[in-house]
Amino acid sequence: MHAHNHRVLVECGVTPVDWAVLSAISYLLPIQPNQLLIQAQLESEDDFSIDELKSASHNCLRHGWILQTEKWH
């Protein structure tokens, strides 16, 4: 992630791992929860683990940035 983008995200309360989830979901709607985590991991410039992405997905859900229609595995 570019430094200027990172600064803006931090100012808005979005972590880089949150951004990986949001970025992956932004153009892949609808997507299965397990596919989202894999896609976010593949597309991210950073080396986030599936556990980090799963935690970020739950954080995004809590903030209302994404909606869940199926149970997370």
Would you give per-residue pLDDT tens digits along the chain (73 residues)? 555 567 777 788 899 899 999 988 887 667 888 888 999 998 888 899 999 999 999 999 999 998 877 665 5
Q: How far apart are CA 22 and CA 7, in angstroms?
A: 16
Tokens representing 46 are 């950073």
Query: What was the pLDDT predicted at 32?
Result: 81
Query: What was the pLDDT predicted at 26?
Result: 82
- Nearest one of 29, 25, 27, 30 to 38, comparing CA atoms: 25
Helices (H), the chain: 3-11, 16-26, 33-43, 50-63
pTM: 0.77
Query: What was the pLDDT predicted at 28?
Result: 67
Query: What was the pLDDT predicted at 17?
Result: 92
